[in-house]
Structure formats: C-alpha cells, structure tokens
Amino acid sequence: MKLLIAFLVILISLLQYRLWYGDGSFKQTQKYQQQLDLLQQQLTVKQKRNKALEAEVLDLRKGKEAIEETARHDLGLIKQDETFFQVIE
C-alpha cells in the first residue's frame, strides 16, 4: 500500500512539473498567446494598408480609363498603331 501511494505521489509530481514548467506549460501558453495577439495586430494593420493600396490602384486604373475615354470622345485622340475610322452619315 505504501508503495502504491509513493508511486501515485511521484506520478502526480511529474505531471504537475510538466503542467507548470514542461513543454506546453501555462507560462509557455501565455507566451504563445501574446505572440499570437501581436501577430494578429500586425496582420490587421497590413490588411488595412493593402485595402488602401488596392483602392488606390483601382482609382488609378479607372482614372486612366476615364481620361482615355474623354480624350477619345471629346478630342478624337487615338492610340499608337491604332486605325481610326470615321463614319459620316
């Protein structure tokens, strides 16, 4: 009986050691959670920056198309190596 109690005490001590100091301990889990929080904050900042850049690119593309459309319609401009046909009715 004493041997069984000693074995259980040793087993519980080893498990407690792993819980507090070993791989996957509370301290290490907290450290990983802090790193994860920091990375999520950085990700949020970078996603906002990417959305802003994407919006800017879309504006530039649309702006270029709008300028080109205005130049073609109002000023009669054509691109290089492009043939212009004017139909007179």
pLDDT digits (tens, 9 = 90+) for 50-84: 999 998 888 778 877 777 877 888 888 888 888 87
Residue 3 and residue 10 in contact, taking contact as beta carbons nearer than 8 Å: no
pTM greater than the 0.75 cutoff: no
pLDDT in tens, 1-19: 889 899 999 988 888 887 7
Torsion of CA 31, 33, 35, 40, to 10 degrees: -170
Question: Could you give the CA distance from residue 84 to residue 78 in angstroms, rounded to a whole number?
Answer: 7
How sure is the predictor about 20, in pLDDT bands with cuts at 50, 70 and 90? confident
